[in-house]
Copies of this chain bind each other. A is one copy, B any other.
């Protein structure tokens, strides 16, 4: 008799599998206000590790953290025309504060370009103040009509970088540096997701940007997820907020700006990239818990052994947890660790003690085999790296296998039913893009003929990757 699956199988109903996993692995709950979410400790732990890794890369790129108010006067939003048009429909508005109606309503930030420019315009005086490289970790609010936990929520957590530069070239180079060295490196080498780095079409650009660079991941159902974006803002906000620096003499020049962000949406991307019918699979470099040592029974000798193994692995630099909660049945704990996607389980029972072995269960590569306890500290770090590489390889192979070259709108729509289509941008163009949109398919990004990031939309040989997207 086959046991009932813990999760709805992916092949049966992918969205339901996603929701099941989030519930069963205790990643998040829906909040009481429509579209909000409660991020539970295990889910938040994934985000915390993402923050740590990302924050280190952002600081290495020279940006400093700061914090700007969440409340923005409504009048700020209207200063940049495209920006307000893009965000007005999603705003949350505070009309009362301290028991009184406010003279001017304030909006809860949907993003902070406007309020940050208000201060950049004060802080930037001479070219010596440039580049000004600021990052903020914060919550933002965009009212969502069709919310989905982690992917589209009314409130989400993110980092938003905002920079000002003396020249177009410098701003452009910095937006690109964040795109590749910060976001690309993190998603590929830590999240293990083989993201495509590309350029958004004019239609898909950030409201107020002159160019948006994106990282698109293919999920296990073949749909695309925009994992992060880095924008060149040109001088649009600088002109709206009069952010200038002094050139030779009295002449002043508007600064050139970038902004860039990644959010808790990445947790959703992680789940849909690596999760399987048994639960999540967390890449070892991201995992707060890389290995769990489980006592099968509560005998003293077993408990002593799991603690000893835990100490050895910790000394070997492995992030390890010892699970000695033997008042909970072993099977239930094992399923829970499997659901939560901890890369390695090391299980120890009375019989293992006699043999001097432990059962090593690999969540990512699969399979279980007894290994000598003495060898664990030596082999575990290498196994974790193998598993890290395997997730990235799976992600790449899936993307390659499910991306097909197409030549027409119809073919593109067909390709988007199971994966991505790749089509000449010169052939498709904005008109074709509009037709695809009618059928729920979008241009995720443009890539150059050599697979790199195009310098312009109309660069000869550009290809459009088209897909259904979250």
CB contacts (< 8 Å) of A38 on chain B: these are 66-69, 119
Q: Are A145 and B65 in contact (CB under 8 A)?
A: no
Q: Which residues from chain A sit less than 8 Å from chain B, CB to CB? A: 29, 31-33, 36-41, 44-45, 47-48, 64-73, 76, 88-99, 105-106, 108, 115, 118-119, 122, 128, 134, 138-139, 141, 143-145, 154-155, 157, 327-328
CB contacts (< 8 Å) of A64 on chain B: these are 41, 44-45
Contact of A29 among B119, B141, B145 (CB under 8 A): B119
CB contacts (< 8 Å) of A67 on chain B: these are 38-39, 44, 47, 157
CB contacts (< 8 Å) of A71 on chain B: these are 31, 33, 36, 92, 141, 154-155
* A interface: dominant SS: mixed
Q: Are A94 and B108 in contact (CB under 8 A)?
A: yes
Contact of A40 among B37, B66, B73, B94 (CB under 8 A): B66
Q: Are B98 and A145 in contact (CB under 8 A)?
A: yes
CA distance A37 to B67 in the complex (A): 8
Contact of A96 among B36, B93, B138 (CB under 8 A): B93
Q: Are A33 and B155 in contact (CB under 8 A)?
A: no
Q: Are B90 and A33 in contact (CB under 8 A)?
A: no
CB contacts (< 8 Å) of A95 on chain B: these are 93-96
CA distance A32 to B106 in the complex (A): 10
CB contacts (< 8 Å) of A33 on chain B: these are 69, 71-73, 106
> Which residue of chain B is the closest to A29 with respect to CB atoms?
B119
Shortest CB distance A44–B (Å): 5
CA distance A122 to B30 in the complex (A): 12
CB contacts (< 8 Å) of A47 on chain B: these are 67
